[in-house]
């Protein structure tokens, strides 16, 4: 998150946020945030999450379209964290910032269950993980935005891709070349309702809680029109991204075996579409490289240094993210 955005989130803004949900500012507690500020509060024995987005990241129409999609999934049986209303019965509201920009607030019921941990990493868990994403893809085939809701943006309209040259060092010019190459490859893939639609795009284990035999997904902030296989690539990517080389193949194989059984119980992606997964794994490598330079103080971040050390040369030299025979998971 840019420093100027952090400076704009003043005490007065937080007081106004609290007022919109009829709680005292002292009852808001900071949870975290990477591209948005995330706060929590408790009321009537229930817990809620408030997300504060800045207009430099998303505009009001973007967030309205996100919540429209989340509501659609929920009313059709998907397990998602439900949006809640402000005291004015709005799902989304603006709060002006000191520089003439604005913040956008939205709130959600806190998801059931808890954050997944290694004790959850068994066959049933990965099966349910795949099943959940497969259900989303089945439902999105029939989704159309509600009246007066702006259509959500496409994956290649994201600011990070369009303005990618702003976020890398001079010595990383080849990273931009690799980004352009993979974007062109993906844009050449034919699209239809069976392989492309509005999806979450970031269903890693930090964006859902796990309860008994089910997952509850939240944070649709990056939802975009994208190839369905991208969601599968994201799940695999974040499960093994820092795994030691000696363990990488076995860990990936176990994940994909059970994840794809769950996914295919809900949705059948064609072989040709599924085998494009390698392109989306490479896209994620590069996108995260850009995100690091956009949002992190690289010189003072051990995570950033470790990621750059592990993936920079692999991106430049076009080394596959993982050398699996993906066809066998179909």
Give dist(CA 91, CA 83) in Å, integer: 7
The CATH H-level superfamily of 3-109 is: Phosphorylase Kinase; domain 1 (3.30.200.20)
Neighbours of 47 (CB within 10 A): 11
> Computed over its alpha carbons, how large is the radius of gyration of the chain?
20
The CATH H-level superfamily of 118-329 is: Aminoglycoside phosphotransferase (APH), C-terminal lobe (3.90.1200.10)
Name the token pair of 300.
């003072």
**pLDDT at residue 33, rounded to an integer:** 83
Structural domain spans, the chain: 3-109, 118-329
Give dist(CA 35, CA 52) in Å, integer: 10
**pLDDT at residue 324, rounded to an integer:** 96
**pLDDT at residue 3, rounded to an integer:** 75
* CA-closest candidate to residue 268, choices 135, 167, 142: 135
Is 3-109's fold the same as 118-329's? no
Check if the beta carbon of residue 298 is closer than 8 Å to that of residue 308: yes
pTM: 0.93
DSSP-assigned letter for residue 153: P
**pLDDT at residue 159, rounded to an integer:** 87
Taking phi first (over 0 means left), then psi (-120 to 50 degrees means alpha), and beta for anything else, what does residue 324 get? beta
DSSP-assigned letter for residue 121: -
**pLDDT at residue 116, rounded to an integer:** 96
Q: What is the pLDDT along the chain (330 residues), one digit of tens a residue?
A: 677 888 999 999 999 999 999 999 999 999 988 789 999 999 888 999 999 999 998 999 999 999 999 999 999 999 999 999 999 999 999 999 999 999 999 999 999 899 999 999 999 999 999 999 999 999 999 999 999 999 999 999 998 999 999 998 899 999 999 999 999 999 999 999 999 999 999 999 999 999 887 899 999 999 999 999 999 999 999 999 999 999 999 999 999 999 999 999 999 999 999 999 999 999 999 999 999 998 888 999 999 999 999 999 999 999 999 999 999 999
**pLDDT at residue 4, rounded to an integer:** 85
Residues 6+ apart with CB under 8 A from 188: none
The helix-helix angle for 245-264 and 229-240 (nearest 10°) equals 150
């Amino acid at each position: 998150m840019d420093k100027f955005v952090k400076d704009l989130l003043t005490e007065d803004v937080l007081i106004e946020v609290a007022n919109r949900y009829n709680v005292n500012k002292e009852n808001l507690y900071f949870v975290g945030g990477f591209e948005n500020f995330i706060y929590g509060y408790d009321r009537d024995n229930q817990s809620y999450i408030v997300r504060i987005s800045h207009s430099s990241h998303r505009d009001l129409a973007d967030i309205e379209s996100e919540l429209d999609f989340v509501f659609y999934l929920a009313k059709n049986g998907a397990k998602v964290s439900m949006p809640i209303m402000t005291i004015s019965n709005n799902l989304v509201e603006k709060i002006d910032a000191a520089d003439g920009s604005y913040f956008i607030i939205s709130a959600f019921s806190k998801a059931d269950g808890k954050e997944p941990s290694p004790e959850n990493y068994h066959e049933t868990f990965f099966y349910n993980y795949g099943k959940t994403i497969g259900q989303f893809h089945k439902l999105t085939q029939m989704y159309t935005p509600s009246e007066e809701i702006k259509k959500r943006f496409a994956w290649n309209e994201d600011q990070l891709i369009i303005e990618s040259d702003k976020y890398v060092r001079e010595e990383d010019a080849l990273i931009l070349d690799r980004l352009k190459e993979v974007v062109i490859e993906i844009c050449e893939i034919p699209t239809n309702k069976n392989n492309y639609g509005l999806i979450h795009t970031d269903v890693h284990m930090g964006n859902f809680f796990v309860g008994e035999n089910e997952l509850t997904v939240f944070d649709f902030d990056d939802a975009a029109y994208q190839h369905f296989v991208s969601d599968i690539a994201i799940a695999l990517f974040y499960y093994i991204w820092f795994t030691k080389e000696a363990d990488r193949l076995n860990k990936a194989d176990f994940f994909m075996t059970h994840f794809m059984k769950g996914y295919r119980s809900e949705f059948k992606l064609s072989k040709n579409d599924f085998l494009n997964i390698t392109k989306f794994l490479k896209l994620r490598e590069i996108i995260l490289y850009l995100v690091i330079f956009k949002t992190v103080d690289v010189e003072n971040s051990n995570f950033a240094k470790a990621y750059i050390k592990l993936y920079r040369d692999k991106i430049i030299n076009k080394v596959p993210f993982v050398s699996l025979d993906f066809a066998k998971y179909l």
